[in-house]
Structure formats: structure tokens, C-alpha cells
Structure 1
């Protein structure tokens, strides 16, 4: 099936829980869906030689609890090849895998598409017939933040980027730094502590907040 150039209305409205008691192992939880989202995205990006890093709230959950934050709605990643990601090839392949790449509120996002072909881990979820019309209608999705190269450190030869929404904060990324989520490692920024302090304050390890980007 070819990708249809429509927006959020092509997404499924999934019913899942944001309870603070939720885990990525409970099939009724949104965190469960988001973990599978991330695992799929990691494999998909690698198969296409697309680089990405886990950032913002997803990095916060990984550092603080080594898992997905139970009450978050999304996975946050920074990506580096906008032209290829938005090609018809990638969009169609995502669509055929049960996902939908769309634009909303000034950025790219991925959701589970309507009438999706995902049968191995989404079988317990209730998919409503009514199409979503605003971001608040979506229970679980991926936020894709563009990363633009700003400079290269002449000593370490590590590239330095700015990530969408953080234009005043420079982020060194060597693509070698990893973070653990549920026992699996994913690439992230080099300056993890500084990244989290900048976005969530210096009490990010203990202060509970719903401001997870």
C-alpha cells in the first residue's frame, strides 16, 4: 500500500494507561507501546543507515529509571537526515510496517496508522474507529526533532549540533555514547548530564515532572 499524504487523521487512536504504576512490560500501558515504538525505530533507522539519538524525556527516563516514563505520551529522538527520512521510499516503508509519518505543530512525528498491520504486540489494544484530529487525541507516538550541525571540536573531532527547540544549547554527538532502556542500549548525546540539566533543571534525578517534552 502506498503512503497517503494526509496528516494526523491517518493515525489510530489507541487506548492505553498512563498510570504511575505502569511498566513497559504491561500490555495495557502506553509505556509498553512506546518501548516497542523505540525498538522498531532503532532497527528501521539502522537498516537505512539513518543516525539518531535519544533525547529529552526519553533520555530522562533512561537515565533516572532505565525505562520509559509511565506518564509520557511520546518517544523523543533527534535525527540527522531530513531529506531521506521524508522521501517516498521511507514513508511508504513505514506505512507498510503499520506506521504513519506525518507533520504536526511544526515537526515530524510517527504514529501507529489506522488499519495497521502490527499484530505481534498491539493485539491487546483497543483501536477506536474515530480518527484523531489534534495531537491530544494520540496516546503514543514518536517526536522527531531535527538536528543541525553547528561545528566540530578540532581537538576531539566530535560534531556539535543544535537540536530543534534548543537553538541556544549546543550538543556534542559522537554517535558512540549509549543509554540503556529496559536492558537494551540506544544512542544518545555525549553531554547527557548537561542536556538534562538544561531541559529539566539540576534536580532532574529526583524531581517528578510531567514536562517531559
Structure 2
């Protein structure tokens, strides 16, 4: 009986406690108690609320500095002072000398790494490609001799890039110097790079000292993300992908210790950058650069070098297989050669006319076809000996007083005038003679089809605008060209041997 009574007392006590707890909870809720202690919702990093842990989102990259004089150590230290755990990459072509004092008085800087891009027997392949080592969503390119003093600027850049993904966000270093905004036209097919100024806040490239924030995925799309000079090389590549660059207004980073201020250091850097630009344009196969000032720079072949393409097979230059047109330096040299030939033939009193694809180009645009590699000229065989240079070239090649090389072609009974002895970009001179009302070819070349034509196309002769001057031509040019190339040739010209191209 005692055990049953004890159990009853225990049950009564438990029931009473439940009643007390129940009413206590109701009273607590009535005062809003549970609202205070609800778990907060998970907050994703958004453009309106940048993460305080920005060091987990961004890798700092220092690329644009000179080994012989720099402020890299202090630049990196300023970021570590604000973001102690942020990942930092210092990228160079070869190990800097004098060595960088990158210890920064701390032996545990595992988040600061240096990467040499040059080949070495001691460095594995993967380690020469630092883009493969980046684990963060964004990268921030930091110019040498700069400082960051607070988190806010970088957080604002991250927030802005979040609002405009797949773009590039730029912030100036100094409030005293306004950044330049440029549009960039990269024409791969024509080997050209053209800059133009714009007052818009959206650019393709930026000039002046600045920070660059971009997505790591975008960086991985670039063929040569770290090639010097930087950041010019970066903007050429992003412009070809149609990536827009936005300059943030109303914010800026700070200048660091002055570097490269002496005349000697500036002269040395200018020389180095000149060579870097030459290498950059060689890597990207850019032959012509037009600056925003209108200045044109040539980085292709010259009179002293070979032409920009090798042996031509079946009238198909190698660049056509690459989906490109004739390099602009070759077209420029070809125009110079053609003008020289026209002047020489005029002085000698030789009857000549524009032929084949060159006449087609004149009819279409008054210029050489943009994919053509030579200029074709027909002339009357009876006039050959009037030219001292053609006469001499019958026996052996001869360089005239202006440096052009005249020679008899090895592949047929015709002549060529080359831009120089080294640079074999040329004008073809095809001899014709009258035979039973037809202008017959006096040669055994086979690469130019349908060369012969009725003599009445030359009686009378006509003329046409070509490369900036009037050049003799057959009359009834449309009929002449359609006889050689077929109907619609002027409106729809074709590459030579288009069926051989690896693309439509």
C-alpha cells in the first residue's frame, strides 16, 4: 500500500509541474519572448550586403612591378594589415632580383605565395600556371606602390561586381588623377587593334594607376592572363570577349612609396615595356595598332625582314587556313610595291593594265582585296625591252635604285617585283601578245586560270581608281571580270580554292 501511495504522490507532483510550465510558457509568449530567441535566417552574400569575410572571396594578385625597383613588400603588407588571412599571389616572369623582402617579419605567411612563369627543371608544370591555384571567386589585381587602409573599398568593389557579374570593376589609386576610358576594337581576322577615347563610364580598357576586380572564372577564359605589359594585355583579351569595364566613382585607394622616379629608372622601364609590347603583339598576332590619338604603329614585317607568311600552296596563303585575311603590314608593303611598279612602267612607256583579282579589288573598293597576297598586272610583251629593269631581270634578279627586287619567276615565263630582297611580297607582271583577235598569255604558268581574253577589251583602254591613283584597265570591266571569274564575281568574290578551307 505504501508503494502505491508513493507512486500516486509522484504522479500528482509531475502533473502539477506540467501545469506550471504550460502557463509559464503562455505568459512568456504573450510578452513576445520567443520572437527574441528565434534563430536568424541564413544570410547569403548579396550585392547589398557584402560579406565581412571578404578575404574568403578575393585573392590579391601583384603583377605589375619591376624587379630592379619596387614597393611590393609594403604593398602586400598593407593588405595583410587589413585582411590577415587573405590569399596573396606575387607573379613574375622569373625570380625577382634583388630578392623581395617578402618575409614581412612573419614566418607563418602561408597565404602569400610567389609564382614564376618561366620554365624551369625544378618547377612542375601546374605550378607555372597560377590561375590553376586560385580558389576564390574573385581576384583583385593590385598595382605596385599602393595601399589599402580599410575594408570598405574592397567590399564596395565586391558588391558592385555582384550587381554586374561577368564584368570588370576598376577603382583609381589617386583622387587627383582621373582614369582614362577607352574603347578597344580587336579584329583578329585583320590582325589589328584600334583604340578610341570615350567619356562613358563603361570602357573596354582603362589607363592610369588603378585596381582591377574580376571573377576568377573570367580570368580562366583568357589565353595569356598574366603576360606583360600589364594591364594592357589583360584588356586586349577581355575586349575580345566583349567584357565591359566599369570605373567606380567617388572612391579611391592610396599611393605607396614613390618608385621609378629617376630619369634612369624611367628610361629603363620604357625600354623594357617597348620590348614587352613587341612580344605581346607577336603572341596575339597583332600587326597594326591604332592609338586613340590616331597614331598608327606597325608590328609586322618590314623591308629588312621576311614577309609575314611562308610558301603559298595552290594560291592559298597559310593565314586563310587560320581564318584571317592578309596581314595589314603586307598590304601596306604591297601597295608601296604596286605604286612603284606603276610609276616604272609609266616612265618606260609600257602598255599595261590591272588584271584578275587586283582588278576585282579595284572594282569593289578601289583597293587590294583584303585577303589577296599579290597584285596582278598584264602588259604587252612587245614593250618588255623598254623597261631597263625587266630587261636585266631576264638574265638574273636585280635590285633597282629604290630597293625593289625585279626577277623572272621560277614557276612560269612571267616577272615579279618584290618589295625587297628579304621581303618577298610581290607584284606579278604577266606578258601578253595579240593572236587572232585574242590577247594570249606568253607564259606557261597554270595557277591563274582563264588568263586569255578578246583583244577588244583593250581597244580602247580604260582606267580605274586603285590604291589611291588611276591605273590603266580593260574597258567593260564587269564583262571582263565575269569572263574570267563567272557571273556575280564582283558582288560575291571567292577565296582561291575555297573548298580547301577547313571552315565554311
TM-score normalised according to structure 2 size: 0.30
Aligned to 1:15: 308
Which runs of structure 2 are paired with 1:49-64 in the superposition (5 Å)?
Answer: 49-64=349-364
Structure having the higher Rg: 2
Which consecutive residues of structure 2, in runs of 5 or more, have no partner in the other structure?
1-303, 310-318, 443-448, 498-504
Tell me: CA distance 1:89–1:202, structure 2 relative to 1, closer, same or farther (3 Å).
Answer: closer
> 1:82-93 residue pairs with structure 2 within 5 A?
82-85=384-387, 86-88=390-392
Change (3 A) 1:177 1:193: same
State how many pairs are aligned. Answer: 168
Within the candidate set 400, 422, 430, 1:95 is matched to 400
**Aligned in 2, Cα 1:204/1:167: closer, same or farther, shift over 3 Å?**
closer
After superposition, the CA RMSD in angstroms is 3.2
Query: In structure 2, how many angstroms separate the alpha carbons of the residues matched to 1:182 and 1:111?
Result: 17
Q: Which moved more, 1:61-70 or 1:201-210?
A: 201-210
Cα contact 1:55–1:78 (8 A) shared by 2: yes
Q: Deviations over 1:185-209 (max 9, x none)?
A: 1001123112211222111122231
The equivalent of 1:184 in structure 2 is 469
> For 1:11-37, what per-residue CA distance to the aligned partner results, in whole angstroms no more than 9, with x for missing partners?
962237884497xxxxx4322122212
Correspondent of 2:492 among 190, 204, 207: 207
TM-score (norm 1): 0.65
**Which structure has more RCO (C-alpha within 8 Å, separation ≥ 6)?**
1
Shift in alpha-carbon separation, 1:37–1:191, aligned structure 2, 3 A? same
Distance 1:21 1:141, change over 3 A: closer
How far apart, CA to CA, are the structure 1 residues paired with 2:494 and 2:331? 16
Structure 2 counterpart of 1:113, from 414, 417, 420: 420
Counterpart CA distance in 1 for 2:428 and 2:351 is 15
Cα-to-partner distance string for 1:23-72 (whole Å, 9 max, x where unaligned):
xxxxx432212221221111111111122100101000000111111111
Q: Secondary structure at the match of 1:31?
A: helix
Map 1:76-155; keep pairs closer than 5 Å.
76-80=376-380, 81-85=383-387, 86-88=390-392, 94-102=399-407, 103-106=409-412, 107-114=414-421, 138=424, 140-150=425-435
For residues 168-190 of structure 1, give each alpha carbon's deviation from its aligned partner in whole angstroms, at most 9, with x where no partner exists.
53142136400112442100112
Partner of 1:79: helix, strand, or coil? strand
Counterpart of 1:196 in structure 2 is 481
| Matching residue of 1:29 | 329
1:161 corresponds to which of 416, 424, 439: 439
SS for the counterpart of 1:186 is strand
Higher deviation after alignment, 65-74 or 176-185:
176-185
- Alignment check: 8 A CA contact 1:95 1:113 kept: no
Change (3 A) 1:201 1:66: same
How far apart in 1 are the matches of 2:491 and 2:432?
28
| 84-93 vs 177-186, greater mean Cα deviation | 84-93
Task: State the secondary structure of the residue aligned to 2:349.
Answer: coil
Comparing both structures, which one devotes a greater share of its residues to strand? Answer: 1
Do structure 1's residue 48 and structure 2's residue 337 form an aligned pair? no
Asked whether 1:170 is paired with 2:454, we answer yes
